[in-house]
């Protein structure tokens, strides 16, 4: 049903199937082989058992969502069926700040290992492609799935934007920075010679076919190790772009649109600040800052 509606990604549908299988197995072990036998205490016992074996709160919330979707589907065909999910409290989410790079780290990461020039061979192609991957992930705060799904027709050269298909098949237009466009032009100069047939994907592998999400993750991880000395995930660049944009502009609504978040609550997690910025604001504004304490000490010495 979710697959037909198009409201969930293939990854979400697969995860829901895994969660419901685990729940079914747990229920059968308790002797509950009929759906009508399941009550609220049964579901609560299942969630507690999952938590006790180390399942994260975030995963438990997904289990809860899978059960809610299942009963919604079942009640569509059998309205009389009791829904034990209704009224059951969802596990509270853990508040965890995302990983992100400082501005200086991002600057180092984006520095090409060699000066862009005429691409001549496969090594040049990979170098230019990987540089463009980093630039777009950071410049436009794309999800890795959005990046992998980009097609040549999604580029708007005149407007300096790119069209992406986000979660829930929602389309949005995002700006692309000048360094990213420079990397794009260098990459596109070589792409036709590497493309297989009528491949429309922007990012292709050495066989000329669309680059997979997993391949992008591997490339970004390697680039992080080479340039920063640390493993790097594509989502870290999205988090970093959001953090840096919010710190510079302070416009939470604009960042929400930029990221394609359905609700502003998701975007609000980026309102954290790094220590240097916090210390600077504190020294400038707090009545008990270091500046004011020093001024007080100077006054006392003169007195």
- Just list the catalytic residues: 143, 167, 235, 238, 261, 270
Residues 269, 243: Cα–Cα separation, whole Å: 9
Give the residue from 251, 271, 222 showing the smallest Cα distance to 100: 271
Higher local confidence (pLDDT), 293 or 254: 254
Look at residue 172 in the predicted model and tell me its pLDDT.
92
Does the pLDDT value for residue 295 go beyond 60?
no
pLDDT over 80 (residue 287): no
pLDDT of residue 283: 59
Q: In terms of pLDDT, which residue wins out, 121 or 153?
A: 153
Average pLDDT over residues 43-69: 85
Please report the pLDDT score of residue 265 as a whole number. 65
Residue 292 has pLDDT above 90, yes or no: no
Can you tell me the mean pLDDT for 112-125? 65
**Residue 119 or 36, more confident:** 36
Q: Identify which of 132, 156, 152, 153 has the alpha carbon closest to the alpha carbon of residue 142.
A: 132
Q: Which residue has the higher pLDDT, 122 or 292?
A: 122
Query: pLDDT per residue over 192-207, tens digit each?
Result: 999 888 899 999 999 9
pLDDT at 126 over 60: yes
* pLDDT tens track for 139-194: 999 999 999 999 999 999 999 999 999 888 889 999 999 999 999 999 999 999 99
DSSP 162: E
pLDDT of 297 reads: 40
CA 94 to chain centre: 17
Full set of structural domains in the chain with CATH:
10-77 (no CATH), 103-264+272-285 (1.10.443.10)
pLDDT score at 273 = 42
pLDDT score for 33: 87
The pLDDT value given to residue 87 = 81
Q: Mean of the pLDDT values across residues 86-96?
A: 71
Q: Which residue has the higher pLDDT, 69 or 261?
A: 69
For the stretch 251-264, pLDDT in tens is 778 788 888 777 76
List all residues 6 or more positions away from 292 whose beta carbon is below 8 Å from its beta carbon: 286
pLDDT higher than threshold 60 for residue 72: yes
Which pair of structure tokens corresponds to residue 112? 């090409």
Write down the pTM of the prediction. 0.61
Within 13 Å, how many C-alpha atoms sit on residue 244's CB side? 19
When the pLDDT of each residue in the chain is averaged and rounded to a whole number, the result is 81
C-alpha 243/C-alpha 226 separation (Å) is: 23
Of 222, 221, 214, 151, the C-alpha closest to 188 is 151
Q: What is the pLDDT of residue 98?
A: 61
């Amino acid at each position: 049903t979710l697959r037909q509606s198009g409201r969930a990604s293939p990854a979400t549908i697969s995860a829901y199937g895994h969660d419901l299988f685990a729940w079914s197995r747990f229920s059968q072990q308790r002797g509950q082989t009929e759906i009508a036998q399941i009550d609220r205490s049964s579901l609560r016992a299942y969630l507690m058992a999952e938590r006790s074996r180390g399942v994260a709160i975030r995963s438990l919330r997904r289990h809860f969502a899978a059960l809610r979707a299942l009963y919604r589907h079942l009640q569509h065909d059998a309205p009389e069926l009791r829904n034990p999910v209704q009224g059951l409290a969802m596990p509270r989410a853990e508040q965890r700040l995302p990983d992100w790079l400082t501005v200086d780290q991002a600057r180092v990461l984006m520095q090409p290992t060699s000066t862009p020039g005429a691409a001549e061979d496969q090594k040049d192609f990979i170098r230019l492609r990987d540089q463009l991957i980093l630039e777009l992930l950071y410049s436009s705060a794309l999800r890795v799935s959005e990046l992998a799904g980009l097609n040549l027709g999604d580029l708007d050269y005149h407007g300096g934007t790119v069209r992406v298909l986000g979660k829930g098949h929602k389309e949005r237009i995002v700006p692309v920075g000048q360094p990213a466009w420079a990397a794009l032009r260098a990459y596109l100069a070589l792409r036709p010679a590497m493309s297989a047939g009528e491949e429309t994907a922007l990012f292709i592998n050495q066989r000329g076919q669309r680059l997979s999400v997993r391949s992008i993750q591997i490339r970004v991880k390697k680039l992080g190790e080479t340039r920063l000395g640390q493993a790097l995930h594509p989502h870290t660049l999205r988090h970093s772009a959001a953090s840096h944009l919010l710190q510079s502009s302070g416009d939470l609504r604009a960042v929400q649109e930029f990221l394609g978040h359905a609700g502003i609550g998701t975007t609000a997690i980026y309102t954290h600040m790094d220590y240097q910025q916090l210390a600077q604001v504190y020294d400038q504004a707090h009545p008990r800052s270091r500046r004011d304490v020093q001024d007080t000490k100077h006054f006392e010495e003169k007195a």
